[in-house]
Structure 1
Amino acid sequence: MKKLIFAAALALAPLAAAQAVPADVATAVSAPGRPADAVALDEVRKPVEVLRWLGLRRGDRVFDFLTGNGYYAEIMARAVGPTGHVTGWNTPSFMRNERIRTALNGIHERSPNTAFYGTPNNAFALPEQAYDFILLHLVYHDTYWESERFGIHRIDPGTITAALFRATRPGGTVAVIDHVAAEGRDTRAEVEATHRILPATVRADFERAGFEFVAESDMLRNPADDRSKNVFDPGIRGRTDRFIYRFRRPLRSR
């Protein structure tokens, strides 16, 4: 198997010049070559509407936190075009998964403006002001999770939001999409039981790190979701109640 192209040193070209040209997300989503299982998720994930609302632009330098099998990484890489770039990060256990490695290899072959790498979550670090756009799709809750099986260490989520803040260029966007939790349970206990998180917890965490809250979208909300269920429950998987938050790194430090 062809080896992945890793961003081991995280050496990126200079940031693209500020621009207002929206990324061509619709063309990226409809382009041939995407795996059938990824295409099947488009109906419920609404990537065209989501990325347009979030303001992804041509030429953006993008970081995909816990990219998994690269569903959004591939779409964003095509959408930002050859002057842009997408870096996807996973923990080592995910990078050792043959299915995920095969998927990421395929993405890099189709979109050379991608790179993927893995480090333990307790050693997460990023270069300063390297990214115009950072996406956390259904994964921020995992900063409160720990799993010996998957090699996920118990960490302070504040170390992640601080690293993301440092890595975002002034004026850059950080987007969080996650499963809505029910009220009344400790965050770590909730994540362990259901892999959900309260939107208020996410907003507080990112604002504490220095981000400005910009807006919220309800395009992925599902009021019929039983929030007591684990998100992997077959009865609700793929159709959970989800919030979308857009944050910005201020142009000037506080």
Structure 2
Amino acid sequence: MKKLNWLMAAGVMLAGLQTAQAMSLEQAATGDHRSEANKARNEYRHPVETLKFFGIEPDMTVVEISPGGGWYTEILAPYLREQGQLIAAGYDPGSDVEYFRKNAARFVDKLAANPDVFDKVKVTIFQLPDRVDIAEDGSADMVLTFRNVHNWYMRGGGEENLARAFNAFFEVLKPGGVLGVVDHRLPADKPARDQEASGYMHEEVVIKAAEKAGFKLAASSDINANPKDTADHPKGVWTLPPSLALKEENKDKYQAIGESDRMTLKFVKP
């Protein structure tokens, strides 16, 4: 009888463990909690491959910077929900800029609308130049930012804004922690001035900003490369899907190109 009870208890423990580990990256990326439109972007954004490249694990504390509409949050939140912690550092709801206030409210509403997925997400503020207290110093295993660096550069701060951002990321990471960056890549032979309005960034500018903050480049990947993208479109990167800024004008052409050519960089805090 004692042996039977022990086996039953072990079975309960095993079932609990399996439940805690049930949500894989693949399941999180394709789950019913995501809209069909968002899941369709997986083809271009390769979230599972990208997150595996960065080395994410389900028990990590991860800070997602400027989550926007929450495209990656939809994957990170359920993956980290049972064992880890997701901190979403987004717009300031008290900002003087209406765009930031509205998008901060939309993001919070999105989380509240699906507590089964997002109930454990912690929301903080990241808004340059001054609101960079995204988490406790030395508390995070990983900081991730997807298609954001160009915005920080373009909003009047240039490389000074990049320095503020990367310094903040360095401070919140534990020694050995990872910074993962994905952004639209400006070809090396294009002039630096193209970064001011196109939405594309020179990869070397991003690498130098991270290294200046103390990071070491651990690896780069072409997971999100797109050789069809020439990065010289009439409305910058927003000419391409999913924005399609020209609407119906040459729509088939830009859809055939797909989403932008992107750098995928993995940095480590020594």
Coarse TM-score class (shorter-chain normalised): 0.7 to 0.9
- 2:82 matches 1:75: no
Residues 134 and 173, structure 1, Cα contact 8 Å, conserved in 2? yes
Asked which structure has the greater CA Rg, the reply is: 2
Q: Matched residues in 1 for 2:162 and 2:62: separation?
A: 21
The equivalent of 1:135 in structure 2 is 144
**How far does residue 41 in structure 1 lie from its aligned partner after superposition?**
1.1
**How far does residue 130 in structure 1 lie from its aligned partner after superposition?**
1.7
The equivalent of 2:41 in structure 1 is 41
- 2:199 matches 1:195: yes
- 2:133 matches 1:125: yes
Residues 91 and 121, structure 1, Cα contact 8 Å, conserved in 2? no
The equivalent of 2:176 in structure 1 is 171
Distance 1:204 1:108, change over 3 A: farther
Q: Matched residues in 2 for 1:133 and 1:178: separation?
A: 17
Distance 1:195 1:104, change over 3 A: farther
In terms of mean alpha carbon deviation, does 154-163 or 122-131 score higher? 154-163
The equivalent of 2:232 in structure 1 is 228
Distance 1:107 1:89, change over 3 A: farther
**How far does residue 115 in structure 1 lie from its aligned partner after superposition?**
2.3
Aligned residue type for 2:145? L
SS at match of 1:121: coil
> Which of the residues 82, 88, 94 maps onto 2:100?
94
Q: Matched residues in 1 for 2:112 and 2:158: separation?
A: 26
Aligned residue type for 2:37? D
TM-score, length basis structure 1: 0.79
**How far does residue 160 in structure 1 lie from its aligned partner after superposition?**
1.1
Distance 1:99 1:34, change over 3 A: same
In terms of mean alpha carbon deviation, does 132-141 or 72-81 score higher? 72-81
Residues 135 and 174, structure 1, Cα contact 8 Å, conserved in 2? yes
Q: Matched residues in 1 for 2:127 and 2:49: separation?
A: 32
Q: Matched residues in 2 for 1:224 and 1:128: separation?
A: 41
SS at match of 1:70: coil
The equivalent of 2:32 in structure 1 is 32
**How far does residue 95 in structure 1 lie from its aligned partner after superposition?**
4.3
> What does residue range 140-151 of structure 1 map to in structure 2 within 5 Å?
140-146=149-155
Q: Provide, for residues 146-186 of structure 1, a one-character-per-residue CA deviation record: whole Å limited to 9, x for no partner.
A: 17xxxx99953211111110011111110000111133433
Distance 1:205 1:154, change over 3 A: closer
Residues 179 and 240, structure 1, Cα contact 8 Å, conserved in 2? yes
Distance 1:153 1:177, change over 3 A: closer
The equivalent of 2:5 in structure 1 is none
Q: Matched residues in 1 for 2:73 and 2:197: separation?
A: 28
- 2:226 matches 1:214: no
Q: Provide, for residues 77-106 of structure 1, a one-character-per-residue CA deviation record: whole Å limited to 9, x for no partner.
A: 212241211111222333423654433433
In terms of mean alpha carbon deviation, does 154-163 or 215-224 score higher? 154-163
SS at match of 2:152: helix
Q: Matched residues in 1 for 2:181 and 2:27: separation?
A: 23
Q: Which has the higher helix share?
A: 2
TM-score, length basis structure 2: 0.74
Residues 143 and 155, structure 1, Cα contact 8 Å, conserved in 2? no
Aligned residue type for 1:222? N
Residues 65 and 88, structure 1, Cα contact 8 Å, conserved in 2? yes
Unmatched 5+ residue regions in structure 1? Answer: 1-20
The equivalent of 2:261 in structure 1 is 241
User: How well do the aligned residues superpose, as a CA RMSD in angstroms?
Assistant: 2.5
In terms of mean alpha carbon deviation, does 160-169 or 99-108 score higher? 99-108
